[in-house]
Amino acid sequence: MSSTHLSVLESSASRYAIEVIEWQSITYSQFAHDVEHFAKYWTRTLRVSGVPQRSTIGMWIGGFTYIDLLHIYGMCRAGYIPQLFSLRLPNPDVVFELLSRSRARALVYDASFAHAVRKAPIPTHLAIDARGEDLDALPLPTHPRVTADDVAFYYHTSGSTSGSPKVVPYDYRWLESAVNKSEQVSRPRDPARQDVSMWMGSMCHVGQSFMLIGSLQHGSCTIQPRVIGFSSEELLDMISRCGLNRLNQFAGFLAGHLRHAQADPKFHAVLRGFDEILYSGMPLPRAEEQFALQSGLPLVNLLGSTECGAMMRGDDGILRPLRGTRYEFVPIDGAVDTGYESSARLLEMVIRGDSPDCPRDRRAADGHFHTGDLFAQVVPGGYVYRGRDDDWIKSQTSLRCDTRAIEDNARATCGHLIAECIVVGTGRPSPVIFIEPVDANADAEKIKREIIRKTRAFHSRRYLHERITSTKMVIVVPRGTLPRTATKGNVRRQAIFA
């Protein structure tokens, strides 16, 4: 079998067995033992139900705790295919639809969703802490035979299209590529000491899964903070008590620490002491990025996607493809309104079909995956990100939101109220919709309430980070005041909060 997250763990458990008891509470050997224990648990549980190995098993869990990690890795070690849902997708009907598409045979669920799975069309199992189960007498399940084309995981796009996320299968070829790429990303700056980084998101999304595989290969320690959007005070505590030397965060959260550093020289000095400050998910605000680069912070940008995982890395503001990949940067046809003037030619990033991280079910007629990500080449082989050619934005947690779908629904259901609208919210917890009303004299609060009422059914099917559910998320402005392009008169999304 090719390199996988499980083979990485098995190797690291023997190579990095030494425990630093001052701050490391779970050793690699303990982690490997616990994964095998959970593999026995799920083998026993699912075989009783007649579910054979290589069946797809839905896992509707948070993905933030050690127990969640054991369920995911244990399910893989038992020979099943996890289909991962985070708690940010709270609509059971959507979950059941996605389970049907992958032909899942069972659903593992977090206790908080016990009420939601009562009408599930397949057997359900509570995600318990199985460490107390007596399973020593049970044999460890054998690895099923797999090929490079067999599915290892199912994830989902973090944004909804047509009311539902897309199922994204990952085969073992993709997984081996993730092992190779994450080794590059997580390689220590100082091989003489153990790196300490932190959990940056849910294991039910590809970002944290990718980063953990990288940390495992180098015997690094991963801290689980109390919340993903932790405060600067908690960051200082992780440094002093846990020896944190690599800060990994989504850009929406890191920006807050950078603003704090601008106002607090002592905190800025602490950040300068990191080996690396890595951010991902979306670009940093320009002011924070320039401050970090110009003031000596060891800033690293990691660009990736749900479909491909990490793709490009840059520690000088310039992104370069990771080794082992095969990408092309193709000039786009026609003009693209990026919200600012630029004389640089825009290039679309294309993942070639022979690149090992090319998603097998997202390829165009030419056999390649067209990402829709736009770049300008500033040095040979080095690129600067210039946004997307579509209508997606990313929330504070770097999850994607289909703004066009929200706008189209608002126009379809509230056309008698809306003359123009635009959805914004990049880097924010939730989107908001700006409305120019048809009737300039209408009561703004009545317009807001009516829009929320008429769009409620649409938003009930969307991720939490995509929903517009409160009148506070609807902003009514006078006719003609939304910023527009000079040529076509289109509302400029990027300029709303400029």
Q: What's this model's pTM, rounded to 2 decimal places?
A: 0.84
**pLDDT confidence of 21, banded at 50, 70, 90?**
very low
CATH placement of domain 5-174: 3.40.50.980
- What does the pLDDT look like over 87-134, one tens digit per residue? 888 889 999 999 999 999 999 999 999 999 999 999 999 999 999 999
Asked if residue 486 has pLDDT above 90, the reply is no
**pLDDT confidence of 22, banded at 50, 70, 90?**
very low
pLDDT at 24: 52
pLDDT at 14: 61
User: CATH 3.40.50.980 residue ranges in the chain?
Assistant: 5-174
pLDDT at 391: 66
Percent of the chain with pLDDT over 70: 92
CATH placement of domain 225-324+352-359+378-390: 3.40.50
Q: Are 473 and 428 in contact (CB under 8 A)?
A: no
- What does the pLDDT look like over 368-423, one tens digit per residue? 999 999 899 999 999 999 877 766 788 888 887 888 889 989 999 999 999 999 99
- What does the pLDDT look like over 413-459, one tens digit per residue? 999 999 999 999 988 899 999 999 999 999 999 999 999 999 999 99
pLDDT at 305: 92
Percent of the chain with pLDDT over 90: 74
pLDDT at 335: 39
Thinking of the domain 393-495, which architecture would CATH place it in? 2-Layer Sandwich (3.30)
User: CATH 3.30.300.30 residue ranges in the chain?
Assistant: 393-495
